[in-house]
Amino acid sequence: MAIVIGDYNRKGGVGKTSSIINLAAEFALAGKRVLLIDGDSQINLTQFFYEDNEDILENGRVKEGIDTLYNLLEEDLNIHNHIRTCEFSARRKWRNKFRKINLKLDIILGSGDMDYYSGTDMNLLKRKLDMLDGYYDYIFIDFPPAHNMVTMTYLVACDYVIVPLHLAKNTSTHGYEDVIDRCREAREEYGNKRLQVLGLFYISTQLYKGDQKALYEYSMEDETRTSMRLFRTTIRHDYSSMQISEWEKRPLCISCGSSEIAKDYKMLMKEMEERIQEERGI
């Protein structure tokens, strides 16, 4: 059975979508079978992969007749018919030779219509994902920065949530407190007993700034880090590499594989996998 992971923070602008794209890409590059689901009505994940595809997007919106997560849930359709595939490759120097690296990501497109999703069956998405048993190692869901019945549907389908935080935005930690409450609700009221917060991580860190460094060092003290389930890995600020990735519409491990931020995401991917193995006694 695939491990289902959502990125969730009620605070917007903390890098949820870029993080889940690059983490999913690192898992895929490591040989894992990965599905990405765009669950945010802003469809930033869909736009990242398909902005230049005129058959799918028009003026930043998914065209009529294209299968999306909204159609899948609202019309109770076959999930296998809603999956698209993106493939990427790049050349990397290794031991004085160049070799080609490849990765494949499967994607379920998002839709602005998710704001109007009227379903009341909290287990519908979970049942859809159960139909993919044996197809994937990891399924990632990009959450919107909200709490409503849609996000609860996602939480019921998840095994874990990860929470990106921004050191420069104290309000992002307030969003984390709400995540804890919503996860408790999913467990106690909707029966998803397996749901846990896998961990928190800082994104776009600039530790040369005094205020960020002080907060970072305090939060990384053993007692605080353990209680908040902070990952040791942080994602450093790298405007240039992120711009290249956005412009090329390719994950960092493909567009800027030697950059420090790409290395950070690789380290975080490994730390996530280790923590999952610890949680499951593997």
Tokens representing residue 142 in the block: 């990009």
Q: Residue 15's pLDDT is what?
A: 82
Q: Which amino acid is at 247?
A: W
pTM summary value: 0.92
pLDDT at residue number 226: 74
pLDDT for res 173: 56
Q: Give me the pLDDT at residue 154, please.
A: 97
Alpha-carbon distance of 135 to 98, in angstroms, equals 31
pLDDT score, position 167 = 75
Which pLDDT score is estimated for 97? 73
Please provide the size of the chain in residues: 282
Tokens describing residue 108? 């379920």
Could you give the CA distance from residue 205 to residue 235 in angstroms, rounded to a whole number?
Answer: 6
CB atoms within 10 A of CB 42: 18
Which residues of the chain are modeled with pLDDT < 50? Answer: 171-172
- Give the closest residue to 47 by CA, choosing from 111, 117, 114: 111
Q: Determine the pLDDT at residue 180.
A: 85
Q: Domains in the chain, ordered, with CATH?
A: 3-200+238-279 (3.40.50.300)
The confidence score (pLDDT) of residue 228 equals: 76
Q: Distance (Å, rounded) from C-alpha 138 to C-alpha 2?
A: 5
Smallest Cα–Cα separation from 5: which of 154, 179, 141, 170?
A: 141
In the prediction, which pLDDT does 260 show?
95
